[in-house]
Every structure is written in structure tokens, then in C-alpha cells.
Amino acid sequence: MELEPMDDFEKELRQTFERQPAPPGMKGKIMARRRVSEPRSHAVLWQRLAASLALAAVLGGVVEWNWHLREERRKGEAARQQVLTALRITNHALNHMNKQLAAHGRAVQE
């Protein structure tokens, strides 16, 4: 469909509604939240590490012990991320609830 050429008012709108830059640090927050919610990269890292250590275990018992320690660490990190997910959702629910209560409180006042 061919659009009509923009008049001056529409050009003003186009200029006014230019995209605004995202707040500084927003990308960092996104990446941080992504790490909390998706441990894919950790899983890949730990999978690769476990595979290497399994091979080395054939050569000596010390490596087998190190693998055990790392497994413990992996499980700990997985548990930690579960906790963070739980708290994030709790925070979100509490915030929403507070907004609801605040709004209804205002409605009652009116």
C-alpha cells in the first residue's frame, strides 16, 4: 500500500517520537537476570569439564577426587540458581501485590 507523503505535523511527530536510548546499565541487568534464569552455559561448561576429568581419572585417583569436588560445586551452583529463581518470582509477586493493594487503597480513599 502506498502511503500519503507526511505533512508537517506528521514530520514533527516523526521527529518527536525518535527512539530514546535505553537507560544505562539496562543491558547489564538483562544479562545478569539471564544468567540467573538460564544456567545453560554453566551446564555446557560443567559437562565439558566432567568429560575431561573422566578421561584423566583413568590415569590417577587424585583426578577422581577433584571431579568429586567439582561435582559438589556444580550441585551447589545449581541449588544457588534455584534459590535465586525462587526469590525473583517471590519478589515479583510481592511487588505486584503491593501495587494492587496501593491502588485499591487509593480507590477506597476516593
Partner 1 sequence: MAHDWQPDFEQLVDEHQSMVFSLALRMTGDRGLAEEIAQDVFLELDRNLGKIESQPHACFWLRRVAMNRSTDALRRRRVHGINLWVEMEDRHGIKVEERASPLGARLEQLLATLPEPQRAALVLRYQEELTPEEIAATLEAPLATVKSNLQRGLKLLRAKAGVYLKEYIRGT
Partner 2 sequence: MQNRIMALVLGAAVLAAPARAQTAKLPAPSPVEKALAARAFSVDEVTLDKNMLAFAAKFMAGKNKDDAGIQHLIDGLDGIYIRDYEFDKPGQFTAEDVEQLRKYFETSEWSPLVRDRDRKTGESTDVMIKLVNGKTGGMFILDVCPKEISVVLILGPIRMDDLGKLSSLGGLGALGTVEKSVQDKEKKGGHQ
- Cα distance between residue 42 and residue 28, in whole Å: 18
With cell 552455559, the residue in question is 41
The closest of 70, 73, 72, 75 to 51, measured between CA atoms, is 70
What is the rounded CA–CA span in Å between residue 107 and residue 32?
37
Residue-by-residue DSSP string for 30-45: HHHHHHHH-THHHHHH
Q: Which of 4, 7, 8, 110 binds partner 2 (CB under 8 A)?
A: 110
Of 25-44, which residues contact partner 1 (CB under 8 A)? Answer: 26-27, 29-31, 33-34, 37-38
Print the binding letters for residues 52-81 with partner 1: x by CB under 8 A, - otherwise: ------------------------------
Q: Which is nearer to partner 1, 29 or 68 (CB)?
A: 29
Q: Which does 79 bind (CB under 5 to 8 A by kind): partner 2, partner 1, none?
A: partner 2
8 binding partner 1? (CB under 8 A):
no
